[in-house]
Amino acid sequence: MPPETALLQAIVNGIATGSMVALGAIGLSMVYSIAEVPNFAHGDLLTLGAYMALLVNKPGNVPLLDTLTTGGQSATMGGTAVLFALGVVATLGAIYMLGGVEALLGSFWPVDVPGGAALAVHVGLGAAVGAIASLGVPSIIAAMLFSGIVVAALGPLQERYVFGKFRAKDISLAMMLVVSLAVAFVLRFTIQTVFGSTTRSYSLQPEVEVFGNSINMVVVKFFDFYVTGGGFLLNVSDPVSEAVLFNGVFSWVSILLMFVAAAAAGYAGYRYRRGTRAILGPYLLGTIAGILAFAVIGFLTNSPGPVPQSPIHSTRVRLSVLNGAIIVLALGMMGLLHTLLRATKVGKAMRATSDNRDLAEIRGIDVDQVTMGVWVIAGLFAGVGGATLGVLFGTLKITMGFFILLPMFAAVILGGITIYGALVGSYIVGLAMEIGIFALPLGATYRTPMAFVVLILVLLLKPEGITG
């Protein structure tokens, strides 16, 4: 059995933590840079998302909804109807926030369509969300989708009834910050009034069936790496069942082919996107093509092999399937956001508004609609991020969003208050939090201070932030 490498393990944990921070920090950065609101209530939006997921995951533990359930995790016909209706209303509400009735009739679509057809599509989308939420009980994946849609509909209410009113009065940034603190307290204690202050937790399915094999989602998996003179061996095992989930030997020649194929596919994808109007951006398309080429060549060239008795180097990393899924989920959502920002008219309008709000308005961009779109996206990320936070931490508390808010703000400021900067800053913060407590003999309570130490050092050298 290879020894565990503490530094490598800290890096893996830092990537998982950074992914969690990124789900909140990206929405916070968008609201800050486009809507001009340093929103201290954003952490409580994550808390709202975490608690909204309970309606699907544990409807019997939610006040008012518990009368429509038969146990903690099964709903009656009435409960199913309520969840379905909430999914439909939340979906249509989020679309309505993009521009009122005109948005429901397709005004924000990139192509001209009959209003009735657009409305039918939107209603069908709402019905799909409602069906997934009501029939998916107690699936945590269905709960995340439901939570994201609900917060995407509720989040913009802050802009419409609070921040937009104060922006019209042209108040200072400091006063807007104070207003956001007031909104944060109102939102936090409203959640506490509805759901109570009792600590709660999700019910996670411990095992799932994948291609006929039962995989434990909660228990960590061991990733054993061996380096030999002939190549590289990866062995993935489950410590509970002692089953080998993957065993593959990669020769140095196959590893070279994997990197060459990834580089060639990545460059080809980049060049293709540069010369056409493909949906994905050049860098994203190139990255996806490179990763796929790397994985395909690796799958075709690896072969099972025994564990070497005297490897040149060996190490072990622990990672649960759940944490790995969170990393993939965060990267997938960030990829979709990148596509929206780079390949759509809405995304270009958002970037223009972020650069210069007044100039964008002069050029004919509906900055109010763009602002509401930003709040919808920020709410979607906050809802999914809040449910993910509950999965990652294991418990739901009223103050959970506030404690993740500090690392989120650190990531946004570290990145230079830009959307892509927030992404980079999130992973730097996540790595700093995990590697910091590894490098210094400190407890886990010092994770957040380590992030701010890195923030101060970076800003001393580059006051405008990494990408500012």
**CB neighbourhood size of 70 (10 A):** 11
Query: What's the rounded Cα separation, in Å, for the pair 374 and 390?
Result: 24
Does one domain contain both 425 and 453?
Answer: yes
H-only helix segments in 58-114 = 77-96, 101-104
Give the SS3 label for residue 242: coil
Element containing residue 234 per DSSP (H, E): strand 231-237
| pLDDT the model gives residue 4 | 56
126 found inside a domain: no
The alpha carbon torsion through 363, 368, 370, 376 (nearest 10 deg) reads: 180
| pLDDT the model gives residue 209 | 57
**Average model confidence (pLDDT) across the chain:** 85
| Boundary of a domain, candidates 248, 274, 307 | 307
- CB environment 401-411: b (16+ within 10 A), e (fewer): bbebbebbbbb
What token pair was written down for 92?
A: 């249509």
Q: Confirm whether pTM is higher than 0.85.
A: yes
DSSP assignment letter at 308: P
Does one domain contain both 253 and 167?
Answer: no
> Alpha carbon 126 to chain centroid distance?
22
Does one domain contain both 329 and 452?
Answer: yes
Residues comprising the chain, all counted: 468
Q: 91-147: per-residue pLDDT in tens? A: 999 999 888 888 898 887 777 888 899 999 999 999 999 999 998 888 888 999 999
Query: What's the rounded Cα separation, in Å, for the pair 56 and 80?
Result: 10
Does one domain contain both 45 and 167?
Answer: yes
Confidence of residue 86 (pLDDT cuts 50, 70, 90): very high
The domain containing residue 248 runs over which residues?
229-307
Share of the chain above pLDDT 70, in %: 93
Mean pLDDT of 238-256: 85
DSSP assignment letter at 32: H
Top-confidence residue, 240 or 163: 163
Torsion sign across C-alpha atoms 235, 236, 240, 243: negative
86 found inside a domain: no
Element containing residue 225 per DSSP (H, E): strand 220-227
Does one domain contain both 193 and 336?
Answer: yes
Does one domain contain both 385 and 428?
Answer: yes
**CB neighbourhood size of 440 (10 A):** 10
Helices (runs of H) and strands (runs of E) counted in the chain: 19, 6
Query: What's the rounded Cα separation, in Å, for the pair 251 and 303?
Result: 9
User: Quick one: which of 421, 387, 428, 393 has its CA closest to 407?
Assistant: 428
Number of domains making up the chain: 2
Does one domain contain both 177 and 38?
Answer: yes
Does one domain contain both 248 and 385?
Answer: no
| Boundary of a domain, candidates 259, 278, 307 | 307
Does one domain contain both 359 and 298?
Answer: no
Residue with tokens 């025994």: 306
Does one domain contain both 330 and 288?
Answer: no
> What is the pairing mode between strands 213-216 and 207-210?
antiparallel
166 found inside a domain: yes
- Beta-bridged to residue 210, according to DSSP, are 213
63 found inside a domain: no
Confidence of residue 450 (pLDDT cuts 50, 70, 90): confident
CATH number at residue 183: 1.10.3470
- Assess whether the previous peptide bond of 138 is cis (omega < 30° from 0): yes
Query: Dmax of the chain from CA atoms?
Result: 73
Kindly give, in sequence order, each residue whose CB lies less than 8 Å from that of residue 320, ignoring residues fewer than 6 positions away: 217, 218, 219, 220, 221
Contact between 388 and 34 under an 8 Å Cβ cutoff? The reply is: no
User: Quick one: which of 261, 245, 263 has its CA closest to 320?
Assistant: 245
Q: 35-60: per-residue pLDDT in tens? A: 888 899 999 999 999 999 999 988 88
Mean pLDDT of 299-304: 89
Does one domain contain both 190 and 337?
Answer: yes
294 found inside a domain: yes
| pLDDT the model gives residue 213 | 58
| pLDDT the model gives residue 183 | 93
Contact between 185 and 123 under an 8 Å Cβ cutoff? The reply is: no
344 found inside a domain: yes
> What is the pairing mode between strands 213-216 and 220-227?
unpaired
User: Quick one: which of 41, 74, 37, 44 has its CA closest to 58?
Assistant: 74
Does one domain contain both 192 and 238?
Answer: no
| Amino acid (one-letter) located at 16 | A
Q: Compute the radius of gyration of the chain from its Cα atoms.
A: 24
1 found inside a domain: no
| Boundary of a domain, candidates 274, 307, 340 | 307
Q: 157-207: per-residue pLDDT in tens? A: 999 899 988 988 888 888 999 999 999 999 999 999 988 888 888 887 766
Q: 365-416: per-residue pLDDT in tens? A: 888 888 888 999 999 999 999 999 888 888 899 988 888 888 898 888 888 8
**CB neighbourhood size of 262 (10 A):** 22
Kindly give, in sequence order, each residue whose CB lies less than 8 Å from that of residue 83, ignoring residues fewer than 6 positions away: 55, 56, 59, 75, 130, 133, 134, 137, 146
419 found inside a domain: yes
